[in-house]
Structure 1
Amino acid sequence: MTKGKIRTTTKATDQQVIKDQDEFCRTLDDIARKGVELDTLQAAKETAMQQVLTEHDPKISELAREIARLTKMAEQWASPRRDELFARGRKSSTTALTTYGYRLGQPSLKPAPGWTWDKVVALLKSTRRRAYLVTKVTPDKEAIRLHVKPHKLAKLGMQIKQEETFYVERSTRSDD
């Protein structure tokens, strides 16, 4: 949908009804006026949001970099001193303002040293472990639409469908 266009489908449940062509034309003009008002409000919102981002983003980025730098420094100091910092069996501790320590991330498979995913796939194929391989096959809808004649689509269990929708587009021309 392009800017300025409003598309809708007609439903029998619509509550208001236009009574004549004059009211129809007034409704279209009202859509155009409200569209201009909407564009103006959206532009004002975007301008305000950009001002806020411009004002705050540099400081936010700077603080995030500084936190990452300090965390890395703390990790470098703590790693060789794990036994001193944590009671036996513990992985975290606290200060007046923080809880710090080590936590496990989500488990994930990685190729073992000297292996690549391609080598793993080849081994799985050769050792009857194909159940661990995933192959996803889907129709190339765009290629089918471009190359298969419409009368042959039915034999393939498909059809071309194109719906018509009503639209109102504001005029941008000036009547000087």
Structure 2
Amino acid sequence: MLEQSAQITLFVLDFFIFVGALGVVFFNNIIYSALFLGLTFLSVALLYLLLGSEFLSVAQVIIYVGAINVLIVFAIMLVNKPEFDKKDMIWVPIDLKSFCVNFILFSTIVTMIVTTPWKLLVNNIDVKLNSLNFLSPIAKIGYQFLSTLVLPFELLSLLLLIALIGAVIIARRELIEDT
């Protein structure tokens, strides 16, 4: 009986994935396409849950349904603005104070990255990770994110912060131009 209910659930999820994919392709309104893309991502996350991979399911919901779909909607909102003439753009030269602060910050970060003994840290963490065999796979992934993969993790968070600041600057520029 459990096998039959799992097959029915699989067919229902396949149907929602198929309908969501068709909605993405065939709707003329791009907002509706983005919503159907979210339906497709959510159905794939439920499929991961059905297959017993809870971590992939949660990651699918957080990354794709949450972040990527919201990013697509924001991109659509920013793209659907009236055309402007290039001569209306105002170029502001870089302020000397902000250049100095950014240069000092960049130099400090590069110095910290170059002078950190990464090899010693990685070897020490691998020994600790091998001794923690009783941890669940999700705990091991989290441990690696905050140990051996800390540099790419931090660089990704810095990249996301830069994208967020850029989106705020673009939105404020439009708000100032409208008033």
Shorter-chain TM-score bucket reads under 0.3
Question: TM-score by structure 2 length?
Answer: 0.27
Question: TM-score by structure 1 length?
Answer: 0.27
More helix by share: 2
Bigger RCO (CA 8 Å, 6+ sep): 1
More strand by share: 1
